[in-house]
Amino acid sequence: MKKTENKKTEVKGKKKPFFTISKKILALSLLPMIIVCALVATVGAKALETGIEKQIEQSLRIVGVSVDETYTNLYEGDYTRDKGGKVCKGGTSISGETQLIDGLREKTGFQVSFLYGNMRLITTLTKPEGGRINGTALEDDVYAQIQTGEALFLTDCNISEVDYYVYYQPLINSDGSVIGAIEVATPMQNVKDTISMQVKDIILIAVVCVLVAATLVSVLSRSMVKTMKKTKHFLGRIMNGELDAEPDEKQCRKKDELGDVYRISVKLQKTLRTIVTDIKDSADNLTVSSNKLIKMAQDTQESVNDVYQAVGEISEGARNQADETTDANTNVVRIGEQIEYISDKVNSLTDYAGRMAEAEKASEEIMKELNSSNESTKESVLRVAEQIKDMSGAIQNITKAVSMIQDIADETDLLSLNASIEAARAGEAGRGFAVVAEQISKLADQSKRSATEIEQIIQNIMESSGRMVEIMGEVEANMNHQQSKLEETGVKTAAVADGVENSLQHIGGIREKMDVLRQSGSAIRDVVEGLSAISEQNAASADSTMQAAHGMSDTMTELMTSSENLLVLADKLEKVLDVFKV
């Protein structure tokens, strides 16, 4: 209990971490979203720029082709330069004629130039300080590409210190020669401003989405953390032995995985409560049975001592009887020589025979009492054996329950291992999950150790029960052997009674017919010899009975010791279970 209180104090005194699991969940949810939004904004800006550039290229191409077709439709013939240096289309001079390109600039907003060779003949482009840039030349690499006869679109083209999108539409004479190009340009800054505004709109939408997602994730994570805290608190109470803790019905009704964990915790509490209750009941029954067994063993020990004493008396009487029979046989041998002396001793012999008859009746009564006591002891031993079997069945049920605890602990340990693996995959963000997994693993280890201790105690009880069952079997065998000896002794006692009766009859005959006694001396001697043999057998049987009674006494002593050990084990089991509150 001190360890549990210390743990509670440590938990209460522990500073709450700033980076809680709810914040980790929020970070894990928002970080990928922020990255995705950044990628979307970047890719979107790039795609937007590419799309706009394609639209600009298309628009510039339309204007360039329109100018080319307009010159072709207005003026028939090829492009030439006359002797005065003017450029003509057919027979018409187009040098200095800017009405067409100026009109296009007004309508489209694009800058248009007419290139003859690599020189701008006429143009709408102006210098920063003012004035058109007529007569300016193209770069050689650009003009070389135009000479191939293919249209050319350039981005980030610097003209008069201004960046432009430029489209070149080659001018081709009828002989296939490229004599120049139509240059159509638009400033890049306008496009960049448009793209920047649209990117800002995309970023604003992404930020709004992230904030909405953050709000939802925060609410959900707080709900999850609240459920996890309640589950942790509930399991902590179970760990501290509070099996009577009331579960939160609201958490039990949740349909998610955390609700499943909470319901499993409640099921674990109910199972443990049932198991502990059964174990406590079994321990109480075990204590009561042990006390009864000790009492019965003590009573049996006393009965065995009485039997041992009574058999000792019988044995002593049998030995005396054998001695007396030997004396009688000697006297019978001497009958022929001292018939008169025997006649004088007839009365004394009659007295001896009467005492023998009384002793025989007393022995018969003792044998009946011994037989009754033996039957009672046998029934007690059988009841003890049945009680031990019942206890073994209860212990097997306890073993099944302990096995269930170990299975739950293994599943909990596996769950904590999976959580640790997922936390390790998550890296730094999964450290909170690792802490929870470690606590669950510790709980699983504590459950395993408790189950192992209970299993060891049960194993000791099973071993003691097995030894007691073996001892009961030996006691029952000894009792059956003692019973057979008692029956045999009863037969012998009946034979002694018959012998005593015959002796009395013979003595009467001696009194009435002394002469017949002289003639029947040899017959009497044979009868006395048989009586001596019977007495010796009675003495031997009495000795065997004494040995059996002594062995039974030792068995009862061992039974009392085993019962006391069983009582000690029951007390230990009750102390172990005192930590649980059912």
Q: What is the mean pLDDT of each run of 10 residues along the chain (582 residues)?
A: 43 56 72 81 82 89 91 87 85 85 89 92 88 89 92 89 92 91 91 82 84 81 76 80 78 78 83 81 77 77 73 71 70 66 67 70 74 74 74 76 77 76 74 73 77 79 75 76 74 71 69 64 68 70 72 73 76 68 62
Check residue 6 and give its pLDDT. 45
- With vertex at residue 381, the alpha carbon angle to CA 303 and CA 485, rounded to the nearest 5 degrees, is 60
Check residue 72 and give its pLDDT. 87
Helix, strand, coil shares, percent, the chain, to 5: 80, 10, 15
SS3 for 33?
helix
Whether pTM exceeds 0.75: no
301 Cβ contact partners less than 8 Å away, ≥ 6 residues apart: 553, 556, 557, 560
Check residue 346 and give its pLDDT. 65
Check residue 527 and give its pLDDT. 66
Check residue 217 and give its pLDDT. 79
Q: Quick one: which of 262, 259, 255, 258 has its CA closest to 235?
A: 262
* DSSP-derived secondary structure for 253-293: T--SHHHHHHHHHHHHHHHHHHHHHHHHHHHHHHHHHHHHH
500 Cβ contact partners less than 8 Å away, ≥ 6 residues apart: 353, 356, 357, 360
How far is 575 from 577, CA to CA, in rounded Å? 5
9 Cβ contact partners less than 8 Å away, ≥ 6 residues apart: none
Domains of the chain, each with CATH number or no CATH: 79-189 (3.30.450.40), 241-285 (no CATH), 356-569 (1.10.287.950)
Check residue 231 and give its pLDDT. 82
How far is 234 from 269, CA to CA, in rounded Å? 9
Contact 93, 119 (CB under 8 A): no
Check residue 532 and give its pLDDT. 67
Beta partners for 165? 186
